[in-house]
């Protein structure tokens, strides 16, 4: 539900922008985890890094909560700036119908409020919070023309050209500092009956020029026909490997983990500048005889049907990657069953699985991993998951602090619903 923001629109107020205050920056050690249950940043509370309890009863931003889903909130990666977006676009869309409010993340003070120069959909903020990344409204592909707006006035200060990528885009990631786009691409084929060989490519966002393209050995991905028809509708399958950029922006990790369970797969490391393949390593978690005999009954997780989506997050130091995946299968009655394939902490130098969460709890495969965040010092991993299916208690949401290497649960807090994470400057 939270992802349909900017598709339904309610009224939003517009006021003049105050004077522009200076912008500060934060070092990684000065960042804290905040969570909120509201689209518009209301109820944004800092979480104690050890106990996971609220550090204060007072929310960071003086905003009234709302259940409306015409709002969205984004933050700069240095944690200094928050932008709250309230959409109210009609037909035709008008710039005055998007209200943008900028806040200082340390104090919660409002810094500016304005309408953009033209109707846009906002993708995010620059690392230091001085620019807003946006595309023209209505929403278009990631390679559409991109606008850089001044984060204190909404004026357009730069444009990146639209460009085309040949093939179907399976996964994308950006290096905003180097102004590059990286993507996994497969040949376009609406009649395909199996996944296709995948290329990794790099594009200069300033010009739209393709810089390099690399065929990755044995990696397949994309969407294809299954040949199944359920209630008159065609069932298609999709494989999405993970693509992640290292913290130093020098390497790309591509991860395949399509079987049960995630502690088995392949990691490709590629030089982000040249497109040179650095290494290809398989990783696997040793299984005991009992595990082979009494593995959980999740045969659907071993199927390519419907989708398998893999996600990867680099540890702060760049020496380890956290991999998790989910899969879904549609039965003959049209009911979809989603299963969690687990998470693993894998060291990149040798492909060794240092830890995983397989079988850490009953019905672990019915969890849904909503998000993963690493602590700035790399000691802890924070995860937010949803219990579904046979997981007990069903429907509950949990924030957990994990050991960053073993993934052992060190602390846990239950919530009554989803919480959106923000990593912000410490007050």
pLDDT tens, residue by residue, 310-341: 999 999 999 999 999 988 887 777 777 888 88
Does residue 327 lie in a domain region?
yes
Q: How confident is the model at residue 260 (pLDDT cuts 50, 70, 90)?
A: low
Q: What's CA 404's distance to the chain center, in Å?
A: 19
The reply to whether 293 and 244 lie within a common domain is yes
Q: Find the CATH number of the domain harbouring 274.
A: 2.40.128.630
Task: Identify the domain boundary among 160, 176, 207.
Answer: 160
The reply to whether 214 and 89 lie within a common domain is no
Does residue 61 lie in a domain region?
yes
**How many whole angstroms separate alpha carbon 306 and alpha carbon 107?**
46
The reply to whether 145 and 184 lie within a common domain is no
pLDDT cut 70: percent of the chain above it:
86
Could you tell me whether strands 120-125 and 81-87 are parallel, antiparallel, or unpaired per DSSP bridges?
A: unpaired
The reply to whether 245 and 287 lie within a common domain is yes
Q: How confident is the model at residue 261 (pLDDT cuts 50, 70, 90)?
A: low
pLDDT attached to residue 192:
92
Does residue 364 lie in a domain region?
no
Give the containing element (helix H, strand E) for 337.
strand 336-347
Task: Identify the domain boundary among 325, 359, 393.
Answer: 359
Could you tell me whether strands 98-104 and 336-347 are parallel, antiparallel, or unpaired per DSSP bridges?
A: unpaired
The reply to whether 352 and 240 lie within a common domain is yes
SS3 289: helix
The reply to whether 95 and 130 lie within a common domain is yes
Take residue 414 and report the two structure tokens written for it. 């239950």
* Domain extent for 238: 168-359
| Poorest-pLDDT segment among 22-31, 57-66, 171-180, 352-361 | 22-31
pLDDT attached to residue 336:
78
Q: Are 257 and 312 in contact (CB under 8 A)?
A: no
Residue with tokens 């797969």: 265
The reply to whether 65 and 23 lie within a common domain is yes
Does residue 22 lie in a domain region?
yes
Contacts 24+ apart (CB under 8 A), 268-272: 268/200, 268/216, 268/217, 268/219, 269/348, 270/200, 270/214, 270/216, 272/175, 272/180, 272/182, 272/202, 272/245, 272/246
Mean pLDDT of 9-18: 30
Sign of the CA dihedral running 420, 65, 425, 22: positive
Angle at 11 (CA atoms; ends 79, 93), nearest 5 degrees: 90
Take residue 149 and report the two structure tokens written for it. 């707006």
**How many whole angstroms separate alpha carbon 101 and alpha carbon 87?**
12
Does residue 408 lie in a domain region?
no
Does residue 325 lie in a domain region?
yes
The reply to whether 69 and 151 lie within a common domain is yes
The reply to whether 192 and 337 lie within a common domain is yes
Task: Identify the domain boundary among 359, 384, 416.
Answer: 359
In total, how many domains does the chain have? 2
* Stronger pLDDT, 95 or 18, i.e. the higher one: 95
Check whether 114 has a pLDDT greater than 50.
yes
Q: Is it true that the peptide bond before 393 is cis, omega within 30 degrees of 0?
A: yes
pLDDT attached to residue 258:
66
The reply to whether 152 and 39 lie within a common domain is yes
Q: What's CA 247's distance to the chain center, in Å?
A: 15
The reply to whether 293 and 180 lie within a common domain is yes
The reply to whether 84 and 205 lie within a common domain is no
Does residue 335 lie in a domain region?
yes
Q: Are 103 and 42 in contact (CB under 8 A)?
A: no
* Stronger pLDDT, 226 or 6, i.e. the higher one: 226
Does residue 401 lie in a domain region?
no
């Amino acid at each position: 539900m939270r992802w349909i923001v900017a598709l339904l629109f309610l009224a939003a107020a517009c006021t003049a922008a105050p004077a522009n205050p200076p912008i500060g920056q934060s070092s990684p050690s000065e960042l804290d985890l905040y969570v909120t249950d509201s689209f518009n940043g209301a109820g944004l509370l800092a979480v104690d890094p050890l106990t996971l309890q609220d550090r204060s009863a007072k929310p960071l931003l003086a905003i009234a909560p709302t259940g409306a889903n015409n709002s969205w909130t984004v933050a700069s990666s240095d944690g200094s700036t928050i932008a709250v977006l309230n959409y109210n676009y009609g037909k035709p869309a008008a710039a005055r119908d998007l209200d943008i409010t900028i806040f200082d993340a340390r104090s919660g003070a409002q810094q500016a409020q304005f309408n953009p120069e033209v109707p846009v959909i906002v993708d995010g903020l620059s690392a230091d919070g001085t620019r807003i990344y946006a595309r023209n409204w209505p929403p278009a592909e990631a390679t559409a023309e991109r606008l850089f707006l001044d984060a204190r006035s909404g004026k357009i200060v730069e444009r990146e050209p639209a460009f085309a990528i040949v093939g179907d885009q399976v996964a994308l990631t950006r290096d905003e500092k180097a102004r590059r786009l990286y993507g996994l691409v497969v040949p376009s084929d609406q009649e395909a009956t199996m996944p296709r060989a995948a290329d990794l490519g790099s594009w200069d966002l300033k010009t739209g020029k393709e810089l390099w393209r690399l065929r990755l050995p044995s990696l397949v991905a994309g969407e294809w026909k299954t040949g199944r028809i359920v209630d008159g509708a065609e069932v298609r399958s999709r494989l999405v490997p993970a693509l992640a950029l290292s913290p130093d922006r020098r390497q790309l990790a591509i991860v395949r983990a399509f079987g049960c369970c995630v502690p088995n797969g392949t990691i490709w490391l590629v030089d982000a500048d040249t497109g040179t393949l650095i290494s290809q390593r398989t990783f696997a978690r040793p299984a005991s005889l009992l595990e082979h005999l009494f593995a959980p009954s999740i045969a659907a997780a071993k199927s390519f049907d419907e989708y398998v989506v893999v996600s990867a997050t680099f540890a702060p130091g760049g020496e380890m990657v956290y991999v998790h995946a989910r899969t879904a299968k549609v039965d003959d009655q049209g009911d979809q069953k989603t299963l969690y394939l687990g998470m693993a902490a894998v060291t990149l130098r040798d492909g060794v699985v240092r830890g995983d969460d397989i079988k850490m709890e009953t019905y672990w495969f019915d969890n849904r991993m909503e998000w993963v965040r690493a602590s700035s010092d790399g000691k802890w991993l924070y995860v937010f998951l949803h219990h579904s299916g046979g997981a007990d208690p069903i429907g509950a949401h949990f924030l957990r602090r994990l050991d960053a290497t073993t993934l052992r649960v060190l602390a846990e807090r239950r919530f009554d619903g989803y919480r959106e994470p923000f990593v912000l400057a410490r007050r």
